Amino acid sequence: MRAQDMNNHDGGAGGWRSVPSARGKVYSRRLPTLDLSALRIFVVDDNEFTLTLVKRLLTAMRISDISICSDPVRALVEIARVKPHIVLTDLEMPGKHGLDLVNEIRTGKAGIREDAAILVASAYADREQVMQTSNAGANWMLAKPLSFRRLYEGLVRVTLDDRPFIRADGYIGPCRRVHMTPPEQLVAKRRKSDFV
């Protein structure tokens, strides 16, 4: 989901009125400062420690609308109820693999928009796993263990992501071509109308 769509999309409740849209991608040590407090985030992970850590990190980012689920099988029902802007999921979980959950969201089986932002977090973030995640339709992959900076960077990436959404035979998700633009250039490209 592109940032300007997030500004207008409420998913059944309040929208993303404070998230600016931008062109290009975020690839730099210097990240733009965004007010993420209007985000609604759903976290799926079978590890209770990880759920607690992610919830604390998101709360430190002033995000208060956080839903967590430790059962990946029940996650679809909960996602449909919550209607999150961003879904953060683990990959290796008992009962359902994280990429199956990504596929169900992208094919419209989750009860939310197919173009909802999806972040995948995994301790196994090798090149093959990153390619599988990208080919499944996820917006971005994060390597565990998660830190404040790593999680914030992932949220900034999917928030400012303006790649077109592709629906083609065998693939549904953001365009897999990623052009990296430093965040300071993203901020310079913003128009006054982006801050409405």
- Kindly report, residue by residue over 98-114, the tens digit of the pLDDT: 999 999 999 999 989 99
Across residues 10-20, what is the average pLDDT? 43
List Cβ neighbours of 128 (8 Å cut-off, separation of 6 or more). Answer: none
**Whole-angstrom distance, CA of residue 110 vs CA of residue 134:** 19
Using an 8 Å Cβ cutoff, are 146 and 121 in contact? yes
Domains delineated in the chain: 3-12+34-184 (3.40.50.2300)
Confidence of residue 180 (pLDDT cuts 50, 70, 90): low
Confidence of residue 8 (pLDDT cuts 50, 70, 90): very low
Q: What is the pLDDT of residues 147-179, one digit of tens each?
A: 999 999 999 988 888 888 989 888 999 988 765
**Whole-angstrom distance, CA of residue 6 vs CA of residue 162:** 11
Q: What is the pLDDT of residues 20-35, one digit of tens each?
A: 444 444 445 677 888 9
Tell me which DSSP letter residue 28 carries.
S
Count of other CB atoms within 10 angstroms of residue 191: 10
Using an 8 Å Cβ cutoff, are 91 and 97 in contact? yes
Q: Any idea which residue has 């985000």 for tokens? A: 39
Using an 8 Å Cβ cutoff, are 136 and 103 in contact? yes
- Which pLDDT value is given to residue 177? 76
Q: What is the pLDDT of residues 128-143, one digit of tens each?
A: 999 999 999 999 999 9
- Which pLDDT value is given to residue 126? 86
